[in-house]
Amino acid sequence: MTVRSTLAALAFLLLSAPAFSLDRVSEPAGPWRYSIGDDPAWADPSLDDSSWQEAEVPGRIPLEKGGQYFWLRATVVPGQGLAGGQVWFETGKATCAFEIYVDGVMVGTRGAMPPGYYSRPQQNSAFLIPANFLEDGSAVIALRAYYTGSESFLPGFFLANPARADFVLSVQNLINMRLYVIMAMICLFLGTYFIAQFVSRPEDRASLFYALSLIFISVYFYDMGSERFVIGGQFQRAVGRASLSASLGCLMLFFMKFFRTPGYRTVRLIVLADVVGFAAAFLLSAGDDVAINTVFNLSLLPVFMVIIYGVVVVARAAARKDRDAWYIMTGLAIGVGFGVHDIVYQVLGLDPFAWLQGFTFFALNLSVFIAMSARAARAQRSLDAYIKETAEQRDRMATLLERAEILARESSQVARDLDEAVIRVADAAERSAESATGIGRSVELQNRTLGAARETVGGLIDSIRSVDRELEAEASILAKTARETGLLIQGFEAVSDGIGGASAFAADLDRLTSAGRGDMDRLAALMARVNESSKEIRDIVEAVNDFAERTNLLAMNASIEAAHAGVAGRGFSVIAQEIKKLAAASAERASRIGEVVLSIDGSVEDGTELSARVKESLERIAEGAAETATRVREAADGSARQREAGTGIASESGQLAASASRMRGESSRQVEFSGGVVRGMEQLASVAEDVGAAAAEIVSHDAELAAQAGQLRGLAGRVRKSAEDLAALMAR
């Protein structure tokens, strides 16, 4: 910043050296008289103005009220330095507008008279006095002036040679007027640029406040340097002065945002009140130059407060080793130097070659621009470094995508394995359903067998009761007479036939019991097959749980890798989360299948227990049937012996009666045994019903297992679809 400023100053001095080296001549013009009022005849050179009041030039012309005409007259005599050449009339930076008459002829105007009144107090003017008016060595100059304030300041009128006039019209007006217009255009351009910056980044409030500061200061600069008013003379001056206050207020807010100073909201309200208050004061004073200047002088107080505040903020930032603060600090130092220049001249009551207050604000804004440009340059370097880092991240992301593609392939393989596991589960469920159906058929056959056995046992009981009645009749016959031996033998033959039938029935009962025991063995084998199927299902469930854990681990790793990838891995993170959800769903379904299998195991265990109980009952029936067969065979042997001893029946009738009594007792025992068989059959029927219910429950569980297998198949499809989507994403 210091080197650039030094080079710019040297360039300015080199370019302006020829202008300063010219042989300029300037002589005071006067003495002057003035009169309040307006009369075109006062331009006549022959007018006697001895009654007019003398005017102190430089000095002030008092007016009774604002917005009055007054005339100034003087007879000018060029000195020896101006003799023989062109003579120019230099007006100085007067505050009023006027028309210039030389010997009654108007040769020019400064500013504009009402109704389009305006004046340029910062502009020095020079008008050529025609040579024919100075042929006698003197000329009468009359100024028809107008001013809106209560007193008009006259800095001094001079007669100048062409070199001085050229210096006034070119160099001095360039610095006092045209340079301000140039600075206004520069500030407006920069303000537009930073407005665009803010539009692209709405969170950058520092750019917004700096842009507003530049736009407001450009309005002030244009009012300072323009030779014509575009929105009405005094109104434009009021707007320009108000814009300076608004520009400095926005600059204060910029400092707060740029250097992150606390108290922004409070200061924003103060600045808003200051801007609105002074804007209203300027607009209300638009018709009076003195009032405008008074308000402007009052507005300089907060302006200087802003400059002091800026110095404090920038100094603190510099103390924090903020490099941008040094640029602004340099601009503030230069601006304060310009401001001290103007203050010194105001205190001395002198009119300087150029008022530098505009350069104060321009230097400040220029230093801010340089600071923001430096920060932008650093940001660009940071952006370049970020781009480089992004390229490295992109390479790492490519590697990550390759790994993700591998994971996708593994996920696809896992999905295929899951499909195969689901198919195995479905096959196991079908086999379980077939086994349950076989159990149902066996139970149905067992029920039919039990019904037939119940009918046979009922016939056996009826037969035994019939034998009991016959034996009772036979004992009665034997007790009455031995003569009925023939009939007794016939009874014995009938008893033998009945015993043969009982023996045949006992043999059939033994065969049926053996068949029932075989059926129960087959039922136990089927239960074992169902138990084995349940074990297979549990193995599949464990495999699904293992797959869910592996998928969950893969999803967690993918989430970590996506988090490392930042914004670029956000989509991958979403896919990883979906895979994780699918893993959780797989684990939940596997847990449900495990619960169903446990329920099936419980039912199989109940069926096995019931089958054991049925088998035990059948064994008891077999034992009773064998014992019954033994008893029947013994009865058959006894009948044979009775037939053989039929010839000696009379003598052995007592023994036969006793034998008949024993047979009656045996028949009673047979009745008891038959009742036990019936009860066993009924218990077997109940067990068969329980086995049927268990088989139905197995079928129901198999249906639920099939539904769970369908859900697993759908889940496998979703996993496969996620893997395909992930692979497609990797291919982009």
pLDDT tens by residue, 185-216: 999 999 998 899 889 888 888 889 889 989 99
How high is the pLDDT of residue 532? 75
The CATH class of 407-731 is mainly alpha
Cβ 36 vs Cβ 68: under 8 Å = yes
Strands 87-92 and 125-129: antiparallel
How high is the pLDDT of residue 17? 39
CATH topology of domain 25-160: Jelly Rolls (2.60.120)
Total residues found in the chain within this entry: 732
CA distance 519 to 464: 29
pLDDT at 40 over 90: yes
> From the CB of residue 576, how many other CB atoms can be counted at a distance below 10 Å?
25
DSSP codes joined into one string, 402-456: HHHHHHHHHHHHHHHHHHHHHHHHHHHHHHHHHHHHHHHHHHHHHHHHHHHHHHH
C-alpha distances out from residue 364 to 212, 336, 357, Å: 14, 9, 11
Closest to 33 in 3D by CA, of 60, 89, 71:
71
Closest to 621 in 3D by CA, of 505, 484, 466, 470:
505
Q: What is the mean pLDDT of residues 286-307?
A: 75
Which of the residue ranges 146-150, 290-294, 363-367, 630-634 has the most confident prediction, judged by mean pLDDT?
A: 146-150
Q: Where are the domains of the chain?
A: 25-160, 175-355, 407-731
Q: Which of 66-70, 129-133, 399-403, 495-499 has the lowest mean pLDDT?
A: 495-499
Computed over every residue of the chain, the mean pLDDT equals 75
Q: What is the mean pLDDT of residues 596-607?
A: 69
pLDDT at 2 over 50: no
**Cα-based angle 205, 209, 213 (whole degrees, multiple of 5):** 165
pLDDT at 346 over 90: no
How high is the pLDDT of residue 348? 73
Q: What is the mean pLDDT of residues 364-372?
A: 81
Task: Tell me the pLDDT tens digit for each residue of 130-171.
Answer: 988 988 889 999 999 998 888 888 888 999 999 999 998 888
The token pair that represents 674 in the structure block: 């038959």
Closest to 367 in 3D by CA, of 409, 318, 408, 428:
318
Cβ 249 vs Cβ 275: under 8 Å = yes
Split at pLDDT 50, 70, 90, the class of 127 is very high
